[in-house]
Amino acid sequence: MNNQKKIHAIIDNIEKVMIGKRNIAELSVVALIAQGHVLLEDVPGVGKTMMVRALAKSVSAQFKRIQFTPDLLPSDVIGVSIYNPKDMEFHFRPGPIMGNIVLADEINRTSPKTQSALLEGMEEATVTIDGETMKIPKPFFVMATQNPIEYEGTYPLPEAQLDRFLLKLRMGYPTHTEEIEVLKRAEKSAPIEELTSVITLDDLILLQNEVKDILVDDTIKNYIVDLANRTRKDSYVYLGVSPRGSLALMKASQAYAMLKGRDFVTPDDIQYLAPFVFSHRMILRSEARYDGITPEEVVERILAKTNVPIKRLIKQ
């Protein structure tokens, strides 16, 4: 089974549980292969948790869940050293971040101090306890969820935290037909319990290594940097996309090209992914928010004004 077939096998498997959300499944797998993380923002009950569980089962990964609450401590996330009086030594008890696929549920319900406990792990795949740095097992993927309508008792994620997420996605409600299909599938059993893996963790690690060989031409790199620079100069934008955002767009485009069965990135890949990669990395000016302008609209406007460097080779 070649790389494209492996990727589509994961997505097809997720679709056994998630009805009508293939684009979200595709983008989640893109982030996983690119060794990035996903922030999933939407209302309760649309299947955010189910998406993560289905993804973990599909790739034979160890699934861990962190339910963020206002009283959660950093040690509840990364782990703690406990003294054992029998041997008079401290022993490290790992926290739930020590997993392959981690669901950070309602991440904006906890304090900034606890949110920051994820920063080192998401960026460097390590945690530091009592001055000792330990590696998180590979592969490591965080999908965080937050509810956009519940603002009371929440702590908005700071820019440094948002910048750690490769993609920000929104699921949305299913259509009438899709929701009927959800009811049918769940009528007698839970589809997630019957889900089995389609690839091994070794297969996934191989995908993550081989995606780096996807060609990104210099003209594509220039295109990415040009788009990022325009976000920094746009009249609606107070804080533009950082160099980490440019790097994130390149990595995501490599994974997306692999999903499409190509060994090179096209401008269409960049244009499709840019709103998911750039939007949460920008802070708009107050007048833009007052006018009802969204970051996604700003990105789309920048894409429309920026010259495409080469002829489009393959359509979406």
- 229-247 pLDDT tens trace: 999 999 999 999 999 999 9
Tokens 């299909």 belong to 181
| Cβ-Cβ contacts under 8 Å for 60 (sequence gap 6 or more) | 197, 199, 200, 201, 204
86-90, 205-209, 222-226, 238-242: least confidently modelled range: 86-90
- What is the Cα–Cα distance from 62 to 187, expressed in whole angstroms? 28
- How would you class 97 by CB atoms within 10 Å of its CB: exposed for 0-12, middle for 13-18, buried for 19 or more? buried
Q: What does the pLDDT average to over 60-84? A: 88
Which residue in this structure is represented by tokens 């594509």?
220
The answer to which of 91-100, 144-153, 282-291, 304-313 has the lowest mean pLDDT is: 144-153
Separation CA 303–CA 306 (nearest Å): 5
pLDDT value at 151 more than 70: no
* Residue 159, pLDDT score: 83
Is a pLDDT exceeding 70 seen at residue 77? yes
- The CA distance from 228 to 218, in Å, is 15
pTM value is: 0.89
Q: Is the bond preceding residue 139 a cis peptide, omega within 30 degrees?
A: yes
Res 315: pLDDT: 44
Q: Above 80 in pLDDT, residue 188? A: no
Nearest to 30 by CA among 223, 199, 269, 280: 269
Yes or no: say if 126 and 133 are a contact pair by the CB < 8 Å rule: yes
Architecture of the domain spanning 3-71+98-206:
3-Layer(aba) Sandwich (3.40)
What's the pLDDT tens digit per position in 279-295? Answer: 999 999 988 888 889 99
Q: What long-range pairs does 294-303 form, CB within 8 A, spacing at least 24? A: 298/231, 298/234, 298/236, 298/237, 299/231, 299/274, 299/275, 300/275, 301/234, 302/227, 302/230, 302/231, 302/234, 303/227, 303/271, 303/274
What DSSP character marks residue 90?
Answer: E
Alpha-carbon distances of 113 from 155, 234, 290, rounded to whole Å? 10, 32, 30
> Hey, where are the domains in the chain?
3-71+98-206, 214-305
Neighbours of 20 (CB within 10 A): 18
Tokens encoding 17: 């549980």
Nearest to 275 by CA among 237, 241, 315: 241
Q: Tell me how far apart the terminal alpha carbons of the chain are, to the nearest angstrom.
A: 23
Mean pLDDT of 166-175: 89
Multiple choice CATH, 214-305, 1.25.40.10, 1.10.8.80, 3.65.10.10, 3.30.70.2740: 1.10.8.80
Answer yes or no: is pLDDT of 312 > 50. no
**Three-state DSSP state, 140:** coil
**269 SS3 class:** helix
**Which residue type occupies 126?**
T
> What does the pLDDT look like over 189-217, one tens digit per residue?
788 888 899 999 999 999 999 999 999 99
